Amino acid sequence: MMEMTRETAEQSLRDIEEARRKTRFDADWGGGDLMMILWGAVWTFAFLGSHYDPEKAGIFWMIGDALGVIGTWAIIYQVNQRVQSQEGQRIGIFWFLLFVFIFLVLAVMHAWDPIQMRAFICRQVRLAIVVM
């Protein structure tokens, strides 16, 4: 039978605390990795569609954004089943309000051409990522 010394016990407690800290950090990431992959795929789809058929750019972006929003809500729902945190809720509200803002600006400024519209959306999302 192995005997535990004070030093071994302290090291074990430090290891447990480190594992706890890493687990909490991974859980707090909250599916962000999946969302980055999802939105990367959405943007790739929409930009490729816009490049090869510019007349239908709006349709590609509408389909891509709809799939992205549905996918984002699915990821958020799955993550919320595992972890509930105030910070995660604030981040979700932030992104929701950002997309409402983008939608409202595009609705008001409907005279933009597709290139300006894409640049505006990309700038807003990149700014949000930097702010976070």
User: Tens place of pLDDT for every residue, the chain, 132 residues?
Assistant: 567 788 888 888 898 888 887 777 666 666 777 888 999 999 999 999 989 998 988 899 889 989 998 998 888 888 766 656 677 778 778 888 988 898 888 888 876 787 888 888 888 888 888 777
Going from the C-alpha of 131 to that of each of 75, 95, 120, 124, 128, the distances in angstroms are 22, 11, 16, 10, 5
